[in-house]
Structure formats: C-alpha cells, structure tokens
C-alpha cells in the first residue's frame, strides 16, 4: 500500500489551514510570500493592463520624457482632476513604468521609456480595447459563443478581398508594419539568407519584412504577395524605402490564386497563426509547389502549444488567435510536422531569443541545391 496518494502535496497546499501555517514557518514563509505575490499579480493582471491602457491613451509616458511632472501639471490636458491624475501616476509607478519622486512629482522609469522606444507597442496597447471586450466572458469565448470584434478588426480573417474600408486596411497594415522591425531583427538573426537570390514574402503586408531583408542583403530581390487591398500601402512603403526596382508586388489570395514562381526562398511571417490547419496545409502545399528543388521555406511567428508553455505564446497569442476565430498559435514541432506533411525536409527550429517577438522554423524542398547548401 502506498503511504501517500499521488498529488498529496497539492492537496495539502490547497488547504486554507496550510496556507496560514506556511506563513508562520521560517523557510516556508518566504516561498509562501513569493507565490502569494505572484498569485495576486495574476488576480490583478487585468487592472494593471487597464492602467497601462490609460497611461498610453493619455500619452503620459511621452509627456514625462522631458522630465518629472507633478500630477497637477498633467491633469488639465488629460481632462482629469488633480487627485485622479495622482491616482493614475501612482498606479503607473506601482507597475514599474513610472517613478515617484520625494517631492511628489513623477518621472519615467526605464521600462516606461522603453515602451516609447518599441515601435508599434503603444498602437498595439491602444487596439487592445477590442481584445478586452472579446475577453469579457472568457468561458463564452472558449465555448465559441462570442461574436468577437477582433474577427472583424482583421478584415482578411474570413478571406475578404477588396471589400474592406481603406481606413481599416491602413490601420492593420500600420500595426503590423510598426511591429515588424523587431520580428525581422529576430528572424534574420536565426537564418542565413546570403545565398538567396529572390525571396517571395507571402502575406507580406506592406513590405516591412522584405525591406529589412533587402537592407541586410543588398543583392537580393523580392516579391510581396498579399491581398489587393494591402497593395497601396505596400507600394507607398517600398517607394519611400527606394525599393521599387528591387521588389515586385503581386496581388492575390493564397486561398484562390497560384503563388508566383521564380523565388528560391519563400517566407511566411505572422501568416500561419491566423489560419486553420486546413488553410495552412493547403498554403504549405502551394509554397512547396512554387519552390524549385532545394528551395527554402522560412516561417516566423509567435508560437505556442509546445511542451514548455510560456506566457506569450500560450496566453497572449493563444487567446488572441482564438478571438480572431480562424487561427491558432502552433508549436514549432506542430508547424514542422505540417511542413513535413507538405513534403519539406531539413527542418530547423532554432531556439528563439524573444519568444514574445517571434520564433522561426526553416525547411527545404528536397533537391540538389538543398543537399549542397546543407553540406557547407
Ligand atoms: C498578421 S499580417 C502579417 C503581415 C506581415 N507578414 C508582417 O509580419 O508584418 C497577415 C498578412 O497576411 C495577409 N493575408 C491574409 N489572408 C491572405 C490571403 N488569403 N492571401 C494573401 N495574403 C493574405 C494579410 O493581408 C496580412 O497582410
């Protein structure tokens, strides 16, 4: 007979009496306090996120960039009374974005300054009002009973073609392009594209990834393939970057149209997680078809659902894609399997530097060129 049934420690910890006991015992006390604080951080997570939202909506970090300010200085422009501004600034200091000075003024903390320095982060926070409304009843969301706003916010989710207002297309293109700098940086650090002659970026949005690749590889040419509605913003961005002679634009839907041929590498950056397994399998088959023997497939996006759950892929992106209703955050192993099913080999899943930014999977179409490059 076993002395202790499996899980006895968890049942012990779950007893209110044990919690009171642990708070008194040296050794256990430190652990209980730390875990208690972590638990409370989870309980108050939504309030923290809303404090962050208020700070960003009222431009407080930007307004503190020139130096510390008193609540009374900042209150009128925000339409708040001095006491409410003091409450908000105090909360901002509580979550580590601001610092309270002895004289009662508030200054930007390092994290608050970094928030301004990450392109697209403020815009991302601002658009979370939509996401939070979708999360208002998380069980209903999980049961599929919510008509989510995010599904309508991202117009291509249901395969829309051209019927989306320009303002909406521009908004999502900007959100994606702003955050693309970090994604491109982490992606390019994980792969060597020196031998690539032409890159086809499928779902390439307004061309921000291709622009970063062209800057890193001056001899490379590229094509951006995306929905017709996205083409005007891609054209404008690539023209501003002086890349109109190196990058072609190809309008189409990968659900309905063949992918252009002629590229020896194809990238899918933050594309797969928007779509169902069925759409992803069909897309990977089309990519396989469009590549020459030895051609390279590069997938880069936040991933989740793997053996080591993490708060970015398995909480944020998992629920974000759930609210979008068509896709899901997949693990590198799952993506690699879908690639193998499509015929790819030579799979690489390098360890991501910042999983909350992106993770990479690289694969090759079987063929002479792949064998040559893999021997190097
Ligand atoms: C999340 S955004 C990523 C954009 C860009 N790759 C990036 O990382 O910034 C997904 C992109 O896929 C494009 N897309 C979605 N469905 C598509 C389809 N059926 N055919 C072509 N592009 C599509 C969208 O228009 C959008 O630009």
Instruction: Please name the residues in contact with 169: beta carbons below 8 A apart, sequence gap of 6 or more.
Output: 155, 229, 230, 233
DSSP letter, residue 159: T
- Taken in order of first residue, the domains within the chain and their CATH numbers are 8-43 (no CATH), 45-117 (1.10.10.10), 138-375 (3.40.50.150)
DSSP letter, residue 316: I
107 Cα: distance to centroid of ligand 1 (angstroms): 39
| Residue nearest to ligand 1 atom 24, measured at CA | 203
Position 376 scores a pLDDT of 31
Q: What is the ipTM of this complex?
A: 0.99
Bigger pLDDT: 7 vs 157? 7
pLDDT of 373 > 60? The answer is no
pLDDT (average), residues 151-162: 66
| Residue nearest to ligand 1 atom 18, measured at CA | 253
pLDDT digits over 12-64, tens only? 888 888 888 888 888 889 998 999 999 999 999 999 999 999 999 999 999 99
**Polymer length of the chain:** 376
pLDDT digits over 291-301, tens only? 999 999 999 99
Reported confidence tier of residue 179, pLDDT bands at 50, 70, 90: confident
| Residue nearest to ligand 1 atom 15, measured at CA | 156
Q: Which of 227, 257, 317, 323 to mutate to test the pocket of ligand 1 (most atoms within 8 A of CB)?
A: 227
Atom of ligand 1 nearest to the CA of 179: 9
pLDDT digits over 228-244, tens only? 988 998 999 999 999 99
Cα–Cα distances in angstroms (integers) from residue 222 to residues 25, 35, 250, 296, in the given order: 64, 50, 11, 14
pLDDT digits over 301-356, tens only? 999 999 999 999 999 999 999 999 889 999 999 999 999 999 999 999 999 999 99
Q: Cβ(22)–Cβ(31) under 8 Å?
A: yes
Reported confidence tier of residue 163, pLDDT bands at 50, 70, 90: low
Residues in the ligand 1 pocket, defined by CB under 6 Å? 156, 159, 176-177, 180, 183, 203-205, 208-209, 226-227, 230, 253-255, 269-271, 274
């Amino acid at each position: 007979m076993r002395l202790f049934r499996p899980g006895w420690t968890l049942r012990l910890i779950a007893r209110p009496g044990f919690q009171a006991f642990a708070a008194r015992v040296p050794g256990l006390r430190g652990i209980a306090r730390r875990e208690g604080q972590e638990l409370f951080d989870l309980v108050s997570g939504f309030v923290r996120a809303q404090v962050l939202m208020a700070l960003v909506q009222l431009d407080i970090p930007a307004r503190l960039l020139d130096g510390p300010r008193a609540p009374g200085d900042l209150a009128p422009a925000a339409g708040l009374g001095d006491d409410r501004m003091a409450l908000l600034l105090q909360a901002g200091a509580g979550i580590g974005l601001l610092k309270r000075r002895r004289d009662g003024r508030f200054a930007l903390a390092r994290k608050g300054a970094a928030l301004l320095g990450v392109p697209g982060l403020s815009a991302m926070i601002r658009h979370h009002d939509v996401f939070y409304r979708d999360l208002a009843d998380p069980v209903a969301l999980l049961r599929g009973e919510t008509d989510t706003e995010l599904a309508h916010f991202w117009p291509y989710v249901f395969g829309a073609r051209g019927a989306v207002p320009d303002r909406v297309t521009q908004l999502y293109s900007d959100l994606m392009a702003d955050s693309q700098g970090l994604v491109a940086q982490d992606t390019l650090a994980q792969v060597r594209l020196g031998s690539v002659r032409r890159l086809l970026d499928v779902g390439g949005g307004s061309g921000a990834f291709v622009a970063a690749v062209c800057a890193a590889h001056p001899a490379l040419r590229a094509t951006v393939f995306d929905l017709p509605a996205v083409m005007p913003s891609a054209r404008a961005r690539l023209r501003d970057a002086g890349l109109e002679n190196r990058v072609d634009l190809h309008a189409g839907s990968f659900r309905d149209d063949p992918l252009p041929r002629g590229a020896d590498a194809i990238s899918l950056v933050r594309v797969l997680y928007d779509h169902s397994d069925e759409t992803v399998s069909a897309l990977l088959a089309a990519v396989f078809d469009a590549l020459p023997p030895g051609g390279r497939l590069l997938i880069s996006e936040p991933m989740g659902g793997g053996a080591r759950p993490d708060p970015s892929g398995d909480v944020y992106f998992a629920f974000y894609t759930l609210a979008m209703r068509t896709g899901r955050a997949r693990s590198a192993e799952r993506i690699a399997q879908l690639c193998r099913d499509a015929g790819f080999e030579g799979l690489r899943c390098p360890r991501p530097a910042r999983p909350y930014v992106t993770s990479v999977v690289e694969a090759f179409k079987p063929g002479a060129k792949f064998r040559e490059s893999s021997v190097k």
